[in-house]
Amino acid sequence: MKKLLLVIFFISISTGAYAIPSFQQVKDDYKSSEALLLDRHGKVIHELRIDLNGRRLEWVSVKDISPALINAVISSEDKRFFQHNGVDWFSVVSAVASNVTEGSKRGASTITMQLVSLFEDGLKPRHGKRTLGQKWKQMMGARQLEREWTKDEIMEAYLNLITFRGELQGISAASRGLYDKHPSGLDRNESLLLAALIRSPNAPSELVAKRACVLSSHLNYADACEDLQSLAQKKLTGSYLVRQQIAIAPHVAYQLLKHDNMQISSTLDADLQRFSSEALNYQLNALKSQNVNDGAVLVVENRTGDILVYIGGTESSARYVDGVRARRQAGSTLKPFLYAIAFEKKLFTPASVLNDSPVDIPTEYGIYKPENYDNDFKGQVSARTALASSLNIPAVRTLTLVGEENFIQKLKHLGFNLNRTDGYYGPSLALGTADVSLYELVNAFRTLANGGSWSDLRLTSDNTVGRWKKIYSEEAVFLVSDILSDRDARSVTFSLENPLSTKFRSAVKTGTSKDMRDNWCVGYSQDYTVGVWVGNFTGEPMWDVSGVSGAAPVWLEIMNYLHKDLPMRPRKIPGGARKEKVSFANRLEPDRDDWFIKGTEPAGIHGENLVLLSNSQNTDSPRILYPPDGAVYAIDPDIPEEQQRIFFELRGSNSHVLWMLDGEALGKDISTVSWKPKPGRHTLSLADNSSSVIESVNFIIKGDSTYMKE
């Protein structure tokens, strides 16, 4: 006791400085265990825990803490908090006397002294209690702290830094974790329990309730014990839950928020993200009876590539599945990029006549028979109608003209990750049998909106816009965009009234994969590109859901929201685009004005220069229809060798035409030639009567590959 009194006397006359951080420094050094994702306007749109060592939430001002809690803490820990200057000498003397006369272990630490101990590891108790030296330093530090900080600052820092229960550090984590409310809303009994936890955060609930009951009597709260026991049993015996205050962009948060990024700004728009999520959830609820449970939305700004909305799934979806990045069959959404190649290469024009009739296409897998979505054939239609109404057979015929390898390379330039080789996709690639992501699709359609130029998308504005790459000519994508915005041309399949029609100029394409497993709608205006996918993360098929009834209503809602305050602007017409009047023979389609790339306009207005792609009707000039240039095939070891054949086909007149393979004649004056495949590189040619080569294509036969059948 004499030693302790000497220490007290020394402290009372000591004026030595103690290294105390400033209040602002402590506040600045405080780190929440939760990282915050901000939108483009600085609004918090998601909070995500990134530190697993303790649960610390936002720093709370003393003004935002319930007075009931502050009163309970002062009564429990430091009754004369507002009277002393860091050390409560009355409590010190009383504690010394009790220790000597009663042998108790009563302490005398003030709130200020406890706070000082949190600043320095060397002041933490050793073997359950502090040494006299530690006590001396603690008391000296408390006096110094009281000279430099206000009482409100001391109380605020104390309540934000102490541990209340388990890993719950600070009043915000304790209040939200145990009571699911902010510290400002704590009532009397909740405050009593929290104050009782300070001395022993992990004590059994019965002991905490008992301490809270004693504290209640000190504060003259009548008849509180029974309620405190019930509350302690309910809140302190089970697991706690810190409910996220806002969590509307989980997939972006997982991508951007790391351990060293406590707060980061994104390109997302909080209001648009919330609206899009509500629109998606509404549609999914409407489609539940048709076995549609999941969906995803991506919205980007065309000019910058900023991602404004990123919804990888709904609240009820598989938590860690990102529907924006997941790869699914593209369905008909790839057709615009195929037709753009045909227009750019001037293989045909929007007014060219294509044949939508049954066709058998020989492949290394056998005969491929494409069909339309509605199992109907429209006969002869213009390319405009074929693309706008998403007819399948004209698209497959177009792929034979363009060439599968050419199409694959163009899709890769657009950002699609197509890693299958050796002729894996075949003619069905025109119908979207390749796996793509919504992320890839949206940026590819954004390329069409940007006149054929491609750049990366971005989620943070501090990333500079990537280098632009020219993928298509402005004229080619202008023709495609004009077709995809043509309500009349679309009506053959979708009718005039459908969710693809907007009051402003927009281009849009839907797609449905095999067995209705995936449903897409992607479209764009001058300013924005919006993509929507609906389906099931499990891969289960939907029941009678098309692009128009599935994803399109969500697309329309978002597009209308984006353009509600935007003025209409005239579209930019490329210098190489020409509008001409077109009339069709036999009034195949109504007369109209149509767009052409300069040099491809029809000579007259009766359609005499239009191209017809058909098995039964040919143009005069013979061309190789199949195989496409650059094709790669594999001999199937499971099919008897004598039964394996490749069929060569030509388009146009077969009169006076000689088929030649690697310089040797195969047949003359015939449209189709059957050939037994042999491993190696081959050159197939068409020659005229004078043996002059009209056209040649190269292809490869591999003999050691294993087939992968769709």
Highest mean pLDDT among 88-97, 150-159, 697-706: 150-159
Core vs surface per residue 592-620: b (16+ CB within 10 A) or e: bebbbbeebbbeeeebeebbbbbbeebee
**Enclosing H/E stretch for 69:** helix 67-77
pLDDT digits (tens, 9 = 90+) for 17-28: 567 899 999 999
- Using left for φ > 0, alpha for ψ between -120 and 50, and beta otherwise, residue 166 falls in left
347-397, pLDDT tens digit by residue? 899 999 988 887 766 666 666 777 666 667 778 899 999 999 999 999 998
Asked whether residue 129 falls in the same domain as residue 181, the answer is no
> ∠ at Cα 343 (342, 344), nearest 5°?
95
Average pLDDT for the chain: 85
What's the whole-number mean pLDDT along residues 187-210? Answer: 94
Query: Which residues on neighbouring strands pair with residue 659, listed in sequence order?
Result: 667, 686
Domain count, the chain: 4
Q: For residue 2, is pLDDT > 60?
A: no
Do both 555 and 460 map to the same domain?
Answer: yes
Reduce the secondary structure of 466-529 to three states and give it as a string.
CCCEECCCHHHHHHHHHHHCCHHHHHHHHCCCCCCCCCCCCEEEEEECHHHCEEEEEEECCCEE
Kindly report the three-state secondary structure assignment for every residue of 374-401: CCCCCEEEEHHHHHHCCCHHHHHHHHHH
Sole residue written with tokens 């001409």: 580
User: Taking Cα atoms as reference points, which of 218, 105, 113, 238 lies closest to residue 165?
Assistant: 238
In a domain, 447, yes or no: yes
- Verify that 551 and 670 share a domain, yes or no: no
The pLDDT of 51-56, averaged and rounded, is 89
Are residues 184 and 302 both part of a single domain? no
pLDDT band at 466 (very low <50, low <70, confident <90, very high): low
* Of residues 704 and 440, more confidently modeled: 440
Q: What is the pLDDT of residue 161?
A: 95
* Closest to 448 (Cα-Cα) out of 418, 419, 417, 473: 473
Query: Worst-scoring range by mean pLDDT, 508-512, 526-530, 631-635?
Result: 631-635
pLDDT of residue 613: 43
455 and 335 within one domain: yes
Asked if residue 287 belongs to a domain, the reply is no
At 657 the pLDDT is 85
579 DSSP β-pair partners: 595
Closest by alpha carbon to 242, among 49, 68, 60?
49
Domain match, 368 and 229 both: no
Q: Find which of 75-79, 271-275, 377-381 is predicted with most confidence, using mean pLDDT.
A: 271-275
When pLDDT is averaged across residues 43-57 and rounded to a whole number, the result is: 91
- Select from 152, 184, 203 the last residue of a domain: 152
Q: Is 694 exposed, middle or buried (0-12, 13-18, 19+ CB in 10 A)?
A: middle
Q: What is the pLDDT of residue 236?
A: 93
Q: Nearest to residue 306, comparing CAs of 570, 39, 533?
A: 39
Residues 408, 339 share a domain: yes
Look at the block and give the residue holding tokens 């047949």: 667
Backbone angles phi, psi at 557, to 5 degrees: -60, -45
Q: Is residue 288 part of a domain?
A: no
pLDDT attached to residue 258? 79
The pLDDT assigned to 671 comes to: 82
User: Is the predicted pLDDT of residue 605 greater than 60, yes or no?
Assistant: no
| Confidence category of residue 97, pLDDT binned at 50, 70, 90 | low
pLDDT, mean of residues 449-465 = 88
Q: What is the DSSP letter of 46?
A: E
582 part of a folded domain: yes
* CATH number, domain containing residue 683: 2.60.40.10
Q: What is the CATH number of the domain that holds 121?
A: 1.10.3810.10
296: pLDDT strictly greater than 80: yes
Cβ–Cβ under 8 Å, residues 9 and 89: no
CA 361 to chain centre: 38
| pLDDT digit string, tens, across residues 650-693 | 877 777 788 888 878 888 888 888 888 888 888 888 887 766 77
Q: What are the tokens at 159?
A: 């309540």
Q: Which of the pair, 704 or 115, is modelled with greater confidence?
A: 115
19-23, 161-165, 279-283: least confidently modelled range: 19-23
Residue 594 confidence (pLDDT):
94
**Which range has the worst mean pLDDT, 216-225, 446-455, 518-527?**
216-225
- Asked if residue 33 has pLDDT above 60, the reply is yes
Is residue 304 predicted with pLDDT exceeding 50?
yes
Higher pLDDT, 431 or 10: 431
Question: What pLDDT, on a 0 to 100 scale, did the predictor assign at position 568?
Answer: 84
Amino acid letter at 660? M
Note the pLDDT of residue 706.
36
Give the HSE-up count for residue 658: Cα atoms under 13 Å, Cβ half-sphere.
13
563 shares a domain with 474: yes
Condensed to tens digits (0 to 9), the pLDDT of residues 235-252 reads 999 888 898 889 999 999
- Is 267 inside a domain boundary? no
- In eight-state DSSP terms, residue 705 is P
The mean pLDDT value for 430-435 works out to 90
Between 596 and 109, the more confident residue is: 596
Q: Are residues 532 and 399 in the same domain?
A: yes
| Residue in the structure block whose two tokens are 């830094």 | 161
In this prediction, what percent of the chain has a pLDDT beyond 90? 51
314 lies in the same domain as 349: yes
Residue 496 lies in a domain: yes
Does 35 reside within a domain?
no
Within a 10 A sphere around the Cβ of 502, how many other Cβ atoms?
18
Contacts of 285 (CB under 8 A, 6+ apart): none
Write out the residue range of the structural domain in which residue 383 sits. Answer: 297-597
Mark whether 437 and 563 lie in a shared domain: yes
pTM of the predicted model, to two decimals?
0.78
pLDDT at 709 over 50: no
- The 3-class secondary structure across 433-462, one letter per residue, is CCEEEHHHHHHHHHHHHCCCEECCCECCCC
For residue 306, pLDDT over 90 is answered with yes
Q: What is the pLDDT of residue 705?
A: 40
Please indicate, yes or no, whether residues 428 and 458 belong to a single structural domain of this protein: yes
Mean pLDDT of 209-230: 90
d(CA 317, CA 105): 55
- The answer to the question of residue 44 being in a domain is no
pLDDT of residue 68: 95
Question: What is the per-residue pLDDT for 609?
Answer: 40
**What pLDDT is stored for residue 529 in this prediction?**
98
pLDDT in tens, 543-554: 988 768 899 999
- In this structure, what CATH number is given to the domain that contains residue 395? 3.40.710.10
Say how far apart CA 501 and CA 491 lie, in whole Å.
11
Q: How many angstroms separate the CA atoms of 400 and 628, rounded?
A: 6
Higher-pLDDT residue of 405 and 526 is: 526
pLDDT in tens, 488-525: 888 777 766 677 889 999 999 999 988 889 999 999 99
State residue 223's pLDDT score: 77
Residue 488 C-beta-side C-alpha neighbours within 13 Å: 9
pLDDT for residue 15 is more than 80: no
DSSP state letters, 77-131: H-TTTTTSSS--HHHHHHHHHHHHHT--------HHHHHHHHH-GGGS-BTTB--
